[in-house]
Amino acid sequence: MSHDVQQVRSFEHPGEGRRRAKSTPKGRQVDPVAAEEIAHLLGDRPRRRDLLIEYLHLIQDKYHQISAAHLAALADEMKLAFAEVFETATFYAHFDVVKEGEADVPPLTIRVCDSLTCAMLGAEKLLGELQATAGPGIRVVRAPCVGRCDTAPAAEVGHNFVDHASVASVLAAAKAGDSHAHLPKYIDYDAYVAGGGYTLLKRLRSGELKKEELLKALDDASLRGLGGAGFPTGRKWRAVLGEPGPRLMAVNGDEGEPGTFKDRYYLETDPHRFLEGTLIGAHIVEAPEIYIYIRDEYPACREILEREIAKLPPGGPRLHMRRGAGAYICGEESSLLESIEGKRGLPRHKPPYPFQVGLFGLPTLINNIETLWWVRDIVEKGADWWKAQGRNERNGLRSYSVSGRVKNPGMKLAPAGVTVRELIEEFCGGMADGHTFHAYLPGGASGGILPASMDDIPLDFGTLEKYGCFIGSAAVIILSEQDSVKGAALNLMRFFEDESCGQCTPCRVGTQKAAILMEKPVWDRQLLDELSQAMRDASICGLGQAASNPLTSVIKYFPGEFVPKEAAE
């Protein structure tokens, strides 16, 4: 069966041919008007199961909500059970499903990011003031990290983002009807080719450059997955190639970790360098189909990629764009695959691993955007060039997403192994005026929290684990003495509570219970330690396994930030 066309197999029911009782309507009936609207909206698009989320986006974009009547009509059009469509639509935060009897969603939604950096810079006050002044026809809601931590606080008006948001700037954008994504200046296809782009891919496809030579370059450079896991890239490509074909490729562009925005930076500045790396990876593993999954919070990135993919010359793998729908869990590789298949983003049990049984049941190569972005430079400039870039006995370059209390936040390309003190002073212009360095997150929401006194640790894979932290996607958030580390940990735990997919009890219940316990002025350290251990040991995926890292960091490194139960007694 073709992996590109998912078929619903029909078979003869054992009772076929017998006399049947007269059928009577049961359950939900399809509204004829809604059915006509859905049929018109889908047009001649294929009614494949894996396109369900794409079609939910079509409804949401056109009607600003998804009614029960439209859900039933979509299910009927795609020959799916209503329950299956309903559970998928309600799983994702960006689908506004309106049940029967509920009021319609206002035509314009303003989302205010309330993740850590935005919260530090006034998001809660902004949210309250907007809710009080927005007026009729506008809904104001809180949102998890939208990947603009360097311009916090951030708000989203429709699909247009307002950086350094204020009540005045957000309401002005809403009044102007400015709800579409703004495209930044970037290197387009012609400019990229003029600069030598796609030469490496041509050499590989012609046979001038052998597969083994390219893989050796990645091995020699020790390029690791830069989405957070850090798995050696060359070894991963070899593992997928070693599986029997056909094979597929998926790109993880669901950059949802609070504090992280490096992938957005690369897509909005030099998208073809990423696309060339992607096509090289597909050629190595002989994948005829590539699925690029971009989070819904990055509309400019999606539009840029769609425009530039259309400019690629014919031939080569077929590239499919897939749009996330507001679910942090889909950054986990197996949840990503489920979402690409049009389902809820529930993590799969492992083994088998995605390189063995991945997208549509086929061996699948999964890479992060930044990992693929570096392939061309490493092969063309050589492994020695890459390895010479490190600092403090580390190798390569890292893209640090720096936000918080620094003068110049942003994406900082720096030597791997740079310390947080070096990062602040050399790359960020020092601390923000009036702020003293107090604490930092070395690896985003799940990477733990360290005190300023531990400012000499190289920031790279393998250097932070002994302290109960990790580098992850290199999202570095800087806190000052004016910030509560305990409050930061609570903000992060609430994020994990909201983003838990709910599949496993340790994560679903553990994050909820942890947040409740952390809200108390007196912390029950023993109970929190036991809860954290249970989440680490028994959660299915990395969300639950790492959610307690900020909590345990506060207990270990910031004893003055909370009152333990035993001390209170």
Are β-strands 138-143 and 108-113 bridged in parallel, bridged antiparallel, or unpaired?
A: parallel
CA distance 273 to 134: 41
Is there a single domain that holds both residue 255 and residue 358? yes
In a domain, 294, yes or no: yes
Is there a single domain that holds both residue 285 and residue 431? no
Query: Looking at residue 56, which CATH number applies to its domain?
Result: 1.10.10
Residue (of 295, 298, 289, 302) closest to 345 by Cα position: 295
Q: What would you measure as the largest C-alpha separation in the chain, in angstroms?
A: 84
- The DSSP 8-state label assigned to residue 190 in this structure reads H
**295 pLDDT more than 80:** yes
CA distance 189 to 195: 10
In a domain, 223, yes or no: yes
| Domain boundary residue, one of 480, 501, 518 | 480
Is the distance from CB of 398 to CB of 474 less than 8 angstroms? yes
Is there a single domain that holds both residue 313 and residue 260? yes
- The pLDDT value recorded for residue 229 is 86
Is there a single domain that holds both residue 301 and residue 253? yes
Task: Examine residue 271 and say whether the peptide bond preceding it is cis (omega within 30 degrees of 0).
Answer: no
Is there a single domain that holds both residue 137 and residue 237? no
CA distance 157 to 10: 45
Q: 185 is written with which tokens?
A: 């200046």
Is the distance from CB of 524 to CB of 565 less than 8 angstroms? yes
| Domain boundary residue, one of 176, 200, 215 | 176
Sign of torsion over alpha carbons 507, 508, 513, 514: positive
- The DSSP 8-state label assigned to residue 208 in this structure reads S
Provide the residue range defining the domain that includes 458. Answer: 397-480
Question: Which residue, chain included where needed, has tokens 């350094």?
Answer: 164
- The pLDDT value recorded for residue 11 is 29
CA distance 45 to 371: 33
CA distance 527 to 172: 48
Question: What is the number of domains present in the chain?
Answer: 5
**494 pLDDT more than 50:** yes
318 Cβ neighbours under 8 A, 6+ residues apart: 4, 288, 289, 290
**26 pLDDT more than 70:** no
In a domain, 284, yes or no: yes
Is there a single domain that holds both residue 270 and residue 337? yes
Sign of torsion over alpha carbons 481, 487, 491, 497: positive
- The DSSP 8-state label assigned to residue 549 in this structure reads H
CA distance 492 to 190: 43
3-class secondary structure, 57: helix
In a domain, 29, yes or no: no
Query: Looking at residue 495, which CATH number applies to its domain?
Result: 1.20.1440.230
CA distance 198 to 189: 10
CA distance 553 to 537: 18
CA distance 110 to 103: 18
Using alpha carbons, list the distances in angstroms from residue 234 to 12, 225, 281, 431.
48, 10, 10, 38
CA distance 487 to 565: 18
**415 pLDDT more than 70:** yes
CA distance 173 to 181: 12
Per-residue pLDDT reduced to its tens digit, 300-346:
999 999 999 999 999 999 999 999 999 999 999 999 999 999 999 99
- The pLDDT value recorded for residue 566 is 57
In a domain, 20, yes or no: no
Per-residue pLDDT reduced to its tens digit, 396-410:
999 999 999 999 999
Is there a single domain that holds both residue 301 and residue 202? yes
Per-residue pLDDT reduced to its tens digit, 208-254:
999 999 999 999 999 999 998 889 999 999 999 999 999 999 999 99
Residue (of 505, 446, 434, 502) closest to 471 by Cα position: 446
3-class secondary structure, 475: strand
In percent, how much of the chain has pLDDT > 90?
90
Per-residue pLDDT reduced to its tens digit, 144-196:
999 999 999 999 999 999 999 999 999 999 999 877 788 999 999 999 999 99
Average confidence (pLDDT) over 40-65: 97
- The per-residue DSSP string of 252-309 comes to EE---STT--HHHHHHHH-HHHHHHHHHHHHHHHT-SEEEEEE-TT-HHHHHHHHHHH
Is there a single domain that holds both residue 258 and residue 124? no
- The pLDDT value recorded for residue 15 is 41
| Domain boundary residue, one of 480, 507, 524 | 480
As a whole number, the mean pLDDT across the chain is: 93
353 Cβ neighbours under 8 A, 6+ residues apart: none
Is there a single domain that holds both residue 406 and residue 501? no
Is there a single domain that holds both residue 546 and residue 410? no
In a domain, 170, yes or no: yes
In percent, how much of the chain has pLDDT > 70?
94
Altogether, the residues listed in the chain come to a count of: 569
User: Is 36 buried (19+), middle (13-18) or exposed (0-12) by CB count in 10 A?
Assistant: exposed
Are β-strands 475-480 and 450-451 bridged in parallel, bridged antiparallel, or unpaired?
A: unpaired
pLDDT band at 20 (very low <50, low <70, confident <90, very high): low
CA distance 6 to 362: 13
Q: 364 is written with which tokens?
A: 């699948």
pLDDT band at 569 (very low <50, low <70, confident <90, very high): low
pLDDT band at 10 (very low <50, low <70, confident <90, very high): very low
Average confidence (pLDDT) over 355-375: 98
Is the distance from CB of 412 to CB of 400 less than 8 angstroms? yes
493 Cβ neighbours under 8 A, 6+ residues apart: 511, 514, 515, 518, 547, 550, 551
In a domain, 387, yes or no: no
Is the distance from CB of 501 to CB of 344 less than 8 angstroms? yes
- The pLDDT value recorded for residue 178 is 78
pLDDT band at 87 (very low <50, low <70, confident <90, very high): very high
Query: Looking at residue 440, which CATH number applies to its domain?
Result: 3.10.20.600
Direct distance between the N- and C-terminal alpha carbons of the chain, in angstroms, rounded to an integer: 66
Is the distance from CB of 1 to CB of 7 less than 8 angstroms? yes
Is the distance from CB of 407 to CB of 432 less than 8 angstroms? yes
In a domain, 388, yes or no: no
Query: Looking at residue 274, which CATH number applies to its domain?
Result: 3.40.50.11540
Query: Looking at residue 164, which CATH number applies to its domain?
Result: 3.40.30.10
Is there a single domain that holds both residue 128 and residue 244? no
Is the distance from CB of 297 to CB of 154 less than 8 angstroms? no
- The pLDDT value recorded for residue 396 is 95
Is there a single domain that holds both residue 198 and residue 345? yes
Are β-strands 66-67 and 97-98 bridged in parallel, bridged antiparallel, or unpaired?
A: parallel
